[in-house]
Structure formats: structure tokens, C-alpha cells
Structure 1
Amino acid sequence: MKFRTPNSGIVATLLILILSARCFTAELSARRDGLLKRPNILWISLEDISPDLRCYGDAYAITPHIDRLAQQGVLFTNAFSHSGVCAPTRSGIITGMYPTTIGTHHMRANGVPPAYVRCFTEYLRNAGYYCTNDAKTDYQFAAPITAWDDNRRGAHWRNRPDSTSPFFCVINLTSTHESRIRQPEQAYQKLRASLMPEQRHDPAAALVPPYYPDTPLTRSDWARYADLITFTDRRVGKILQDLEEDGLADETVVFFWGDHGRGLPRAKRWIYDSGIRVPLIVRWPGHVPEGARRDDLVCFLDLAPTALALAGVAVPEHFQGQVILGPERAKEREFIFAARDRMDETRDIIRAVRDKRFKYIRNFMPELPYAQTIDYMDQMPTMRELRRLHEAGELNEHQRLFFRDRKPVEEFYDTLADPHEIRNLVADPTFQPQLQRMRVALDVWARETEDLGLIPEPILDDRARPEGRWRTTQTPQIVIQNGRVSISCRTMGASIAYALGKPAPGQRSDWKLYSQPIALPADTRLRARACRLGYRDSPIARAVVR
């Protein structure tokens, strides 16, 4: 087990920046020589959804479009997020690195990743891909203008100026978010009315997990969640239909995934399987067998390197995931890892390691209970029901586990025999060899990835922003010689965007990613702006080609 994580320090950062520049140069050379036959890549992302789909064996689910996608591609049965909540998850996806390595692990933080860290889409843009995101970012830092050609509601592959250019398109569907489960009754009934009668879920037929009390209220939340999935399934079908109508289905790799587990208590925000096990389906006509199932362990840090590899782009050495498709596919890993840290207003430090069968959890703050009050989470009716029944003494032994005054220091589960992770086997002599093996694995991972979790957040904040001051990327310098424009920035790790001409009133600037000198005709007006993750963008530099 070896993770590609740089040693701290300026020398290591400079080395990685040099290697990244070489990656950019190699991509440009390959593009000029026409050596790369590259597919389009489409990500369909859902929020707050576990593998509660018919194609994953859930008989309660009604998901015909997603099921059809699974029949046309490969379904991953052991796909996991590295976090049980959206922002740290998406921070890891966009950078290809563990949030615990780059300092974006606390929920709702303004991170300042190391200088060598970029949004991986810059590598795709540099290689000629049109990169578009609709529209959620939630990266724990502001999305830089260098990350996307188009980053807004309604961004789409159809908007690319050159219809022959390859695209990387992300469509984030938010209709399964936890807030939609608890939306006002009138809004929910309107959504439910949009479903056919046979698509509406009967709360009486719901199979609630054993860690929930089986009450009409918990069944209602579960049925609402299932209705949201069916509603979103239709939206997935529409996206795939658009791809077909554009004649692009055969040349596009489609990834379907959910950002973490379902938006209900003891799932979202937690690193039990209910919080980190996710659906992942990939369709790639002619390259992956139809109706295939893979049980190898994959995690969200694999998405970025896989996208780059499919595009023929060199994967940066500092990425911590691995390629899971295509000729560069890596060998199967032995473990996946996950983390929970500060969650909104509540402190915590929890780490987990999992193989195909066992899960080991280490609680670094056992003195803190599981059921700390989180205002946003406590708006969920199921959470209120849990608290009410706990106070009334009406929860059973499994349901009471969540309300213990203290957490155990260690938890160990056989996820095949106990998929709900309610029987802690840490003291069972039968499993001591497996337990010790996973203790060691977690220690090695924490050391090799330079896990920042034990460093108090105020210290991390002060390192990132001394005395609380936000740093601003330095203004780029524009040099023009014989019609060739070179742009540089003195801020280490900065990326540069440029735009030509002057945007019309009300029109957005068409910022392009700068990677090498460009030739421009005389009298061209040029604007340039530099940005670094976690910094404020630079002032705009302006010049006219003479």
C-alpha cells in the first residue's frame, strides 16, 4: 500500500509544479500531433443517495432509466466516497486528493490547498476538452475561473463553440438532497403528483433499517426519499436521451454516481456504509461489457485520474486515486479509507478503513457522543423522531447505540454478516487477526497521506491565513513581443486565465486557460487574471497587442 503524497516543503512543491508543467507540455504536443483519439466524458452526479436502486437489488426502488444504464455498462458494487458529506467529498473529487491531506476536511471550511494542487479539469482544458459544470461546486474553496469553460446553471455540452471538440460535462442533479425529503408537504405533493401512480412509493412497504424505529414518520421519510430517486431517474433518462439525439452516445463515456450516502440520520455525515457506500455505473460502448458487475474497491479519488487517462492526459504524480478503466487500469486495491471531522457546528475526528468484507473505525474523540446536535440535520423528521423516542425510553438496543454518552474508541464490523454495522466485533477473539491488519492499514494510510486531522482547526486556519487575512493572487504580467503574448504570475501555484476583446453588456467573459505563449493579431485587446485555490483572484491585467 503506497500513496502518492509529497513530503512537505518548498522543494517538494517546486518539484511537483515542474512535473505538472511537463504534463501540460506533453498534452499540448500530443494534441498537435493528432495522436489522441479521445472520448467525450459525461458525469451525472446525484446528491445524498446510497445504492438504493433496482439495479443494485433494491426491490422498493423504481429506477428504470438508471437500471437501463446499468444494463448497458458496468455496475460497481464496492464504490465508496472518502467522506459522508458533500463538501469534503467534492473537494477530493475535483483535486484528486484526500481532503485530510490538503486541509479541506472540515465541513464548511475555506481551505487553502498546497500550491501544487489544481482542479483536475485544468489538465483537461489544457488538452483541448471543453469543460462544463451544471452547477454545484462546493469544493471548500471558490471554484477558479480556470477550472471550467462554463460553470453555471444550464451549462451543457451543447453550448460548446466548436461542436467537434471533445467535452467533459458534469451535470449535478440536486433533487435527491436531504432538504427535499423534509420539504413542505405542499411542495412534496406537487412532486409526487408528477409521478405516475405506479411510481409512487407506499410508506407501508418500506423496509427501514434496524437502527431506525419502525414508525409511520420514519416510513414516510423513507418513501419520500424513494420518490425523489424515481423523480430524479426521469431526469437521468432525459440527459441520456439528449446524448442519443445528438448522436454522441457511442463516443461518450457516461459516469453515474452519488456523492455520498442517503440524506438521513446515521447515514449522511457518517462513515458507516450508509454514509459512504455509493452507486457508480459507467457506460462506455465498445470498451466495457454490457451488464457487467465489478466488485473491486473503488473510491471517488479514482474519478479524476480515470477521466484524465481516458482523455489521454498524463495523471499527475501527486494524485492519490488510481485509474479504474481503460488500458491504464491499475491493479485492485486492498482497502478504501474515509474520514469524518468537524461537521458544521460539532467537533469530531473519526477515521475508517474498509476492505471487501470488514470495516474498522477509530474514534479519536470517544468522549463525544454520536448524536451531537447539528441544527441542519435535526430538521429531518426522522432525527426528531429518534430524539423523541430516545427521551421516552422507547428505542431498542440497536437504536439506542446512536445515543450513547460516549463512542467506543474502536469499532469493527463484518459488513457481509452485518451490513447495517450494528454489532461491534472489536472484542471478539475470532477476528483479532483481521482487526490488527486493519489497524496497521489505517496507521500507514494516515502517515503516508499526511493526515491533518489531529492538528486543531485554528492552527490549520492560521497556517493558511495568518492573522485571518485572505491572500490575493498577484496580478499577472503580460509581455508582448512580435505579436506573441506571454503571461506569468509570481504567486506560486497560480493558474492564469485570459480573455480577448471586451464582453458586451450583460455578457459573461469567455475566460480561456493560459498554458503557453499565444500569437495574436495587432490591436487585439487582452485581459488576464490569475488565481490560486484558496486565494482571492488577482486584479485584472490589461494589454493591447501592438
Structure 2
Amino acid sequence: MHKSKIILLLLSVIALNTSCQSKKVEKKPNILFCIADDVSFIHTSINGTAELSTPNFDRVANSGVLFNNAYCNVSSCAPSRASILTGKNIWELEEGGLLFGGLKKEYPTFSTALKNIGYATGYSGKGYMPASHKEPYQAQPLAPEYNKIRNKVPQFMSNKDYAGNFDEFLSKKDKGAPFFFWYGSHEAHRKYNPGIGVKSGKDISKIKVPGFLPDNDLVRSDMADYFYEIEWFDTHLGRMIKTLEEAGELENTIIIVTADNGMPFPRAKSTCYDYGTHMPLAICWGNKIKGGAKVDDFVNFTDFAPTLLEAVGLEIPKGTTGKSFLDVLFSGKSGQVDAKRDRVFTALERHAYCRPEGLGYPIRTIRKGDWLYIINFEPERYPAGNADFDSVHQGFYGEIDAGATRTYLIENKDNDSVKYYADLSLKRRPEVELFNVKEDPYNLHNLASEEKYADLCKELKAELFEYLTETGDPRMKGENPWDNYPYYFKGLETKHLKPIGERDKN
């Protein structure tokens, strides 16, 4: 054989072997899913919020993609996390769509799918909770192999060492196994250490109060405490990133940083207004994702499960409602990448037990373009809970987390300077609401009754109801199972609710 042909043959063999070896050694990506508790979209320093420093969230965003239009499926922690884990809307999950409900075993989670193909799985802090983990519900949808909170109490700080937990998890897992780790911070959930924000050096004169809250030193100080809690979450994120760098795993790790629902203040958390459902979201994945992109595509939390399953090469289960946005991540583009991603749907059924017999406050919305269209199915009920209702759990106005701002609002709700803000949160709402979010980011001016928006309301309602029908929302059939689901909280866990026909709807 001619010498040149022998050389070409040898080169071909070498190339083939190299190709085969590269396929053999190709690693599944690790996944670090970081989810804060109760943080609205605007509250990261990359978005310009004064007196708030989130350098590690910003680093993930600058290394990968910052999403400008990410929305939780529901502004309530356990059901929001259930939608993440299953890729389904809350109206598709029975009790899984409620706080203090439970996620049935028939609804598969992406974390279990990862564990089944050899991923080491673990979490630190808040997993899928608060919810029942007893039959017939899933004992722990995160399928953890390890979870242990290490305590560490520096001055003015939380006592939860999430990053220490992550280090310990990595040291104990099989060295050859890829991992999925869920960092579920309890921060910035209340309750706060009053004044901790000011004590840590925050200048409350620089804090911008949302337009739906009274702008005074008390509210500003409460927000400073909230900012402090966000920074604690971000500090542990930074430590985890450093650990990945030192272990040589950063390039092969998908890092997702977000929050479960909006800030724990009136007219935010447990509502479907933008400060309740619009979430911070940054994602990086080594050099697989081009850094610095800012994407306007609408992403719903139901989209996380199919995206991660596709990223690791798993088939997306039939019946998954969310859609993978892996193509958006890989595009390297900013702005609107996929023209079809121009809308999301959000919802609420029952958050707290704060109305007679545990009645909820059912809402469905479509957020499309600049518009937020809301249907309140039971407008005769009080959205924040009944003023005179008491319960084992949260008591009156229980849809608003207890804290300095809530107390101030309730105690001064009849004062001229506060009444407007109190009414926004505490009074009944109309059946239909329409807001131009671009012009009215605080959702204060309901345009639904204006004649010039009548056609827009019809179009948005039709689109909303079409989607709800396609995805099997019982409300489209005139059914309401949620008011009859039990509320698994100490003192109420055996209290099954009365049939709807026997209820007082006030």
C-alpha cells in the first residue's frame, strides 16, 4: 500500500477513536436550582434597585441569560414549586395547586426522573413545602438523598448555612455522578428581624417604595429588612458558585436563579398582580450559553421541567403542559427570540385559611404583551381575607404576610393618608381587571370598564378561556373542587371542608 494511503488510513482510525472516546466521556450536566422565597422581579441590583446588592445573581445573568418576563404559575409558595417540579398548571394538580395541600404520586416530577437515571439529588432549606407528604401524596417530590441544615449565626444574619450544606452534599455524593441540587432559601420570607436592614447600613431614603404602598419611613425600613434577606440568599449563591469553581464543575453546571413568588407585602404575594407573579430569573451554563443576553420572551414556571429534561437528554413526559425554552437559551440572542412566547397564564385558588370554612379567592389571568387581564371568579369575597375572621393559622387578612407594613396598613386603614392603599389590598375587587403594565407597573388603574378597551377585553378573555379549556381547568366546566380540599396545617389537618352548596360566600 502506498505510504500516503497508509497515513490517511491511520488518521481516519485516530479520528474515529477520538470521536468515540468523546462520546463516551461526555458528561451529563449538573443542575443547581436556586430559588429564593418571596422576591419580586425588580429586586435585584442588575435591575437598578437602590440599596440592594446581588452581585452573584448579577454574575449568573451576565454569564448567561437574564429573563425580563419570567412568571410563576401562582403567587403562593408550595403550589408554585409544584408547578416547577411537574411542568403543570396548578389547576391540573388537584390539591397540589394549594398551599398546605399535597402533590399526588400520579404527577411525576423532573427531579425524580433525574434521580432515576443516576443523578445524585439533594436540597438545602425549603423543598416542596408547606404541604402534606403522607399518602396519597408524594413523600418528598425533590427525591433527596441528603438534606441537613447546618447552623451558623453571625451578627445580624440568618442561621441557615445553605452553602455549607451544599459543600457537604458534594463531598458525600458519588464522585462520578452528575448532581441535581435544589437550594431553597427561606429568605426573604417573613418574619424579619425588625431594623436589621438599617443596622446593616442601608439608607432608607434611597429605597423606592412601590406605588401600591404608603411611602414612609416605616415601610421603607420594612423594605430594607426585606432587601437584607435577599442579600443573605445571594451570599450563599456566591459561595456555591465558588465551590463549583474550586471543584472544576462550574462549566458543566446549569445554574438557575429565581424565586417562588413575589415580595411578602400587601398587593404582591398571594395576588396575581405583577409584583406577585413577575419573577427574577437568570440562567447560565458555562460556555454553552452565550453571556450577556437579556431576553423578553415570556417564560412560565411550568417551562422549567421540560427545559431541564431536554437539557439532560430525557424524553419529556406526555401531558407536560410547559414548553422547553432550551432553544432560547442556546440562541445567544437578546430581545424577543421566539415570537410565539408572547404570553403567560397565572392563577390562584387558596393561599391562607382566612375566610369562613377555608374559602379561597380564585383568579385566572393572561399576561400578554403590555397587558394583564384578570378574572376574579368570586368578586364578592374579600381578596386579603375577612376582617373579622380568626383561625388557628393566620387570622384576619391572612392573605397578607404578617409584618410591619401589614400592621401599619390595617391599623391606619381609615386614615385619610392611608385609606387609598388599604383599600387597594383589603377591599373587594371587580370581576374583571385590565392593566397596561408598561404604563402602569404597579397595576393601579383598572381599564376594564372603559369602552375603548372593550374589544381588547373580549380578545384576551377568549384567549384565556381557550387555554384554560385546552388544559382542563375545572372552572371552565363550572366545577370548583378546591374549596372542598383539606388544609393540612396543625389544628386543621382533619378538617375537611363543607360542600359548596352549604357555604356562606361572604
2 CA distance for matches of 1:326 and 1:37?
20
* Aligned residues between the structures: 420
CA offset at residue 326 of structure 1? 4.5
Residue 410 (structure 1) aligned to one of 425, 432, 437: 432
Runs of 5+ consecutive residues of structure 2 not aligned to the other structure: 1-22, 150-164, 331-336, 355-359, 387-393, 488-493, 497-506
**2:221 equivalent to 1:213:** no
2 CA distance for matches of 1:146 and 1:34?
31
**Residue 178 of structure 1 contacts residue 264 of structure 1 at CA under 8 Å; is this kept in 2?**
no
Residue 384 (structure 1) aligned to one of 407, 411, 415: 407
Q: Secondary structure at the match of 1:77?
A: strand
CA offset at residue 37 of structure 1? 4.1
2 CA distance for matches of 1:327 and 1:402?
37
- Output the amino acid matched with 2:32: L
Q: Where in structure 2 are the equivalents of 1:53-72 lying within 5 Å?
A: 53-72=44-63
Give the match for residue 366 of structure 1: 379
Give the match for residue 401 of structure 1: 424
- Rate the CA distance shift 1:461–1:146 in 2: closer, same or farther, 3 A: closer
CA offset at residue 72 of structure 1? 1.1
**2:370 equivalent to 1:345:** no
CA offset at residue 266 of structure 1? 1.1
**Residue 90 of structure 2 contacts residue 96 of structure 2 at CA under 8 Å; is this kept in 1?**
yes
2 CA distance for matches of 1:165 and 1:424?
53
- Rate the CA distance shift 1:313–1:192 in 2: closer, same or farther, 3 A: farther
Give the match for residue 341 of structure 2: 333
2 CA distance for matches of 1:238 and 1:218?
31
**Residue 43 of structure 1 contacts residue 254 of structure 1 at CA under 8 Å; is this kept in 2?**
yes
**Residue 175 of structure 1 contacts residue 232 of structure 1 at CA under 8 Å; is this kept in 2?**
yes
1 CA distance for matches of 2:71 and 2:49?
18
CA offset at residue 215 of structure 1? 2.0
Q: Secondary structure at the match of 1:390?
A: coil
**Residue 210 of structure 1 contacts residue 399 of structure 1 at CA under 8 Å; is this kept in 2?**
no
CA offset at residue 311 of structure 1? 0.7
Q: Where in structure 2 are the equivalents of 1:134-533 lying within 5 Å?
A: 134-139=124-129, 140-142=131-133, 143-144=138-139, 147-154=142-149, 156=166, 157-180=169-192, 183=193, 185=194, 189=196, 195=200, 200-326=201-327, 331=338, 332-346=340-354, 347-373=360-386, 374-375=394-395, 377=400, 379-395=402-418, 397=420, 400-404=423-427, 406-452=428-474, 454-457=479-482, 459=484
- Rate the CA distance shift 1:458–1:85 in 2: closer, same or farther, 3 A: closer
Q: Secondary structure at the match of 1:150?
A: coil
**2:39 equivalent to 1:49:** yes
2 CA distance for matches of 1:113 and 1:232?
30
Residue 91 (structure 1) aligned to one of 77, 82, 91: 82
2 CA distance for matches of 1:147 and 1:269?
24
Q: Deviations over 1:123-153 (max 9, x none)?
A: 1112221121224223534253685242422
CA offset at residue 175 of structure 1? 2.5
2 CA distance for matches of 1:431 and 1:245?
56
Q: Secondary structure at the match of 2:413?
A: helix
- Rate the CA distance shift 1:452–1:66 in 2: closer, same or farther, 3 A: same
- Rate the CA distance shift 1:114–1:434 in 2: closer, same or farther, 3 A: farther
**Residue 310 of structure 1 contacts residue 326 of structure 1 at CA under 8 Å; is this kept in 2?**
no
**Residue 410 of structure 2 contacts residue 422 of structure 2 at CA under 8 Å; is this kept in 1?**
no
- Output the amino acid matched with 1:268: K
Q: Secondary structure at the match of 2:288?
A: coil
What is the TM-score of this pair, normalised by structure 1? Answer: 0.71
**Residue 50 of structure 2 contacts residue 206 of structure 2 at CA under 8 Å; is this kept in 1?**
no
- Rate the CA distance shift 1:439–1:234 in 2: closer, same or farther, 3 A: same
What is the TM-score of this pair, normalised by structure 2? Answer: 0.77
1 CA distance for matches of 2:382 and 2:483?
22
Q: Percent identity?
A: 27
CA offset at residue 69 of structure 1? 2.0
2 CA distance for matches of 1:223 and 1:456?
40
Q: Deviations over 1:341-394 (max 9, x none)?
A: 122213211111101310001011111133325535362111111112212343
Q: Secondary structure at the match of 1:55?
A: helix
- Rate the CA distance shift 1:250–1:233 in 2: closer, same or farther, 3 A: same
CA offset at residue 458 of structure 1? 5.7
**Residue 44 of structure 2 contacts residue 52 of structure 2 at CA under 8 Å; is this kept in 1?**
yes
**Residue 92 of structure 1 contacts residue 300 of structure 1 at CA under 8 Å; is this kept in 2?**
yes
Q: Deviations over 1:255-296 (max 9, x none)?
A: 111111111111111110111111110011222211110010
CA offset at residue 399 of structure 1? 5.1
Give the match for residue 30 of structure 1: none
**Residue 198 of structure 2 contacts residue 204 of structure 2 at CA under 8 Å; is this kept in 1?**
no
CA offset at residue 227 of structure 1? 1.8
1 CA distance for matches of 2:376 and 2:110?
32
**Residue 127 of structure 2 contacts residue 184 of structure 2 at CA under 8 Å; is this kept in 1?**
no
**2:83 equivalent to 1:75:** no
- Output the amino acid matched with 2:117: A
2 CA distance for matches of 1:149 and 1:105?
19
- Rate the CA distance shift 1:407–1:312 in 2: closer, same or farther, 3 A: same
- Rate the CA distance shift 1:60–1:192 in 2: closer, same or farther, 3 A: closer
Q: What RMSD in Å do the two structures reach over aligned CA positions?
A: 2.7
**Residue 192 of structure 1 contacts residue 227 of structure 1 at CA under 8 Å; is this kept in 2?**
no
Give the match for residue 13 of structure 2: none
Query: Mean Cα displacement is larger for which, 141-150 or 245-254?
Result: 141-150
**Residue 359 of structure 1 contacts residue 412 of structure 1 at CA under 8 Å; is this kept in 2?**
yes
Q: Deviations over 1:321-348 (max 9, x none)?
A: 1111249989543321111112221321
